[in-house]
Amino acid sequence: MSKHTIVVCDHIHEDGLNILQNTEDINYVYAADIDKVALLDVIKDADVAITRSSTDVDEKFLNAATNLKAIIRAGVGYDNVDMEGCSKRGIIAMNVPTANTIAAVELTMAHMLSCMRKFPYAHNQLKNDRIWKREDWYGNELYGKKLGVIGFGNIGHRVALRAKSFEMDVVTYDPYIPSTKATDLGIKYTTNFDDILACDIITIHTPKNQETLDMIGEEEIAKMKDGVILINCARGGLYNEEALVNNLKSGKIAMAGIDVFKKEPATDHPLLDLDNVTVTAHLGANTKESQKKIATQAAENAIESARGIAYPNALNLPIDESKIPTFVKPYIELTQKMAFLAAQLDKSAIRSISVCAHGEIKGYLDSLATFATVGALAVSAGDEINYVNAKFIAEEKGIKFDTCEVNHCSGYNNKVTIKITTEKRVNTISGTVFDEDVQRIVELDGFDFDIEPKGKMILMRNNDVPGVIGEVGKLLGDNKINISDFRLARGKDSALAVILVDESVNHKILDQIKTLEAAISVAYAEV
C-alpha cells in the first residue's frame, strides 16, 4: 500500500496526532519541535502539512515543499499563509473554522459581561489591592439593552441566541445571508448598517478581508450612542485601533472588550494603558475542548485531502466560499464525497458526470459540478487532480458534463443527485444535509438509505432471499473483518446492502463474497 506523507509542523492536541499515527495509509511525521530552518528539509517529502500560527507558509516554505498538495491551517485565521503562492503552485489551502466556535462565543459573552460589570477591575481592587469598596462598582445589566451583531455566521448567530436568553433586543447585519436565517430565530435583521451603529452594544464576527478591515472607524463611531460598548473577539483590525483608542479616551466609547489585535503579540499597545478596556491575549480558541476539536478536524481533513477525497474549508478555490451562504458549504463537500464514492463502484473509464439538484441548493449547480468533478476524477487521477485543473483534465479525458434542476422531490427541502456513467454502467447517488451540517446519502441506485458518507464500505447487490446477512457476516468474521454497521434496502426482486467495516477489504475477500449464491454484484469503496 502506498502511503501519503503528512507533516505536522506545529503543536496540536494529541488526539489529532493519534488519528494520524493510527491511519494505515498515512506516513505521519511530527516536526513541531524542530527549528523552522530544519523544517524546510523535512517538508520536502510532504503531501500535506498541518500548521498553526508558529509556522509561516511563505515563499521559502513553499519552495522547499516541492511535493505539497495541500496545507491545513489548524485554526480559523490564515494570515501566515501565502495564499497567492499556494494557488500558483496548485496547493489547496484549508483552515478549520468551526472547531473553536463555542469557545469564541463564550469568550464574547464573557467580555460583554465584563464590560457591563467591570469585573476585571473590581476583582483586581479586592484581590490585589485588598480594598472593599462596593460603591466603586455600579455596572449595567444586559437585560433590555440593544445588541448589534455584525456577521451572522457560526459564531455570530450563537452569540445572538445567547444574548436573547439574557432578554436583550438583538439585531444583526450580514448581507451574505437570507434574512430568514435570523428572523426564524427571533433575531431582527437589517440591511441598514446605521441600525447597528444605534445599538447599546456592538459585537463583530466577520472574516478579515478588504471589505471588513477598519469596518468601524471614526465616521462610524461618530454615529454611535454616547457610552456605547464595543466587543471584538473575531480578528484584529476590524475596528480601527487608532479610532478605538481616541474614543475610549474621550468617553464616547464607554468600554471595549478586545481579544484580538492588528499586530500580535500586542504587549505594548495603547489599549493596554486604558482603564475602560477588558483585554485578553487572543484566547478565542483557548479551551481544552476546542483544541481537541481543532486537532481532530485538522487530522481528518489532512487525511481526506491526502487521499484526494475532499478538501473541506478550502480557501483558494475557484469558488469564493465567502460569497455563498453557509448552508451551501456542506452540500458542496457532500457532492464531492458522493462523486468519489460513485466513481469507486465501477473502476472503469468515466464517460459522463451529471449533477442534479432540488430546492434552494439548485441555485449553486455550477459550484456543485466543480466539486463533483474533483471527487469523481480523484479515483483515477489521484494527486494530480485539484480544483484548478479538474475541468481541463476532464476535457482531456473526453468526459461530458450535465447539470439539471429538479422541481419536485418528495421528502427533502434540498437534495443533490450525482450520476456517473462509465463504460460498464450508471452509478447514481443522492444526498442531503440535515440541520446545519449533518451529511447523509439517502439513495443509492434507486434504493433508499440513510448513510453517513464516511468510512470503509462494501456494497453488495443480492437476490432478496433468506440467510444473506448471516453468510456475509460469517465470511467477514472468518477474515477478521469487523462490521461496524449493516444497512439493507429492499427492492422488488433484489436488495442492496451497505456494510461498513473497520478494516480495509482486499480483492480476495470481495471475490469470496461474489461467490455467494445470492450475490449479484459486489463493490468496495472508502470515503
Q: How far apart are CA 208 and CA 228, in angstroms?
A: 23
Relative to beta strand 426-434, strand 438-444 is antiparallel
Spatial strand order of the sheet with 415-422 comes to 400-406, 350-358, 415-422, 426-434, 438-444, 447-451
Q: Residue 58 is placed in which grid cell?
A: 511563505
CB 331 within 8 A of CB 405: no
Q: How far apart are CA 250 and CA 256, in angstroms?
A: 13
Q: How far apart are CA 272 and CA 277, in angstroms?
A: 8
Active site (annotated) includes residue 242: no
Q: What is the DSSP string of 248-304?
A: HHHTSEEEEEE---SSSS-TT-GGGG-SSEEE-SS-TT-SHHHHHHHHHHHHHHHHH
CB 68 within 8 A of CB 43: yes
Q: Pick the catalytic residue from 111, 205, 282, 307.
A: 282
Angle between the 119-127 and 101-117 helix axes, to the nearest 10 degrees?
A: 70
- How far the first Cα of the chain sits from its last, in Å, is 17
Q: How far apart are CA 160 and CA 149, in angstroms?
A: 7
Count other C-beta atoms under 10 Å from residue 490's C-beta.
Answer: 12
Positive or negative torsion for Cα 504, 507, 513, 514:
positive
Q: How far apart are CA 28 and CA 45, in angstroms?
A: 11
SS3 call for 348: coil
Q: Pick the catalytic residue from 73, 111, 235, 269.
A: 235
The closest alpha carbon to 5, from 476, 311, 383, belongs to 383
The closest alpha carbon to 233, from 276, 282, 268, belongs to 282
CB 304 within 8 A of CB 337: no
Q: How far apart are CA 480 and CA 482, in angstroms?
A: 6
Active site (annotated) includes residue 264: yes
Q: Pick the catalytic residue from 59, 141, 264, 436.
A: 264
Active site amino acids: 235, 264, 282
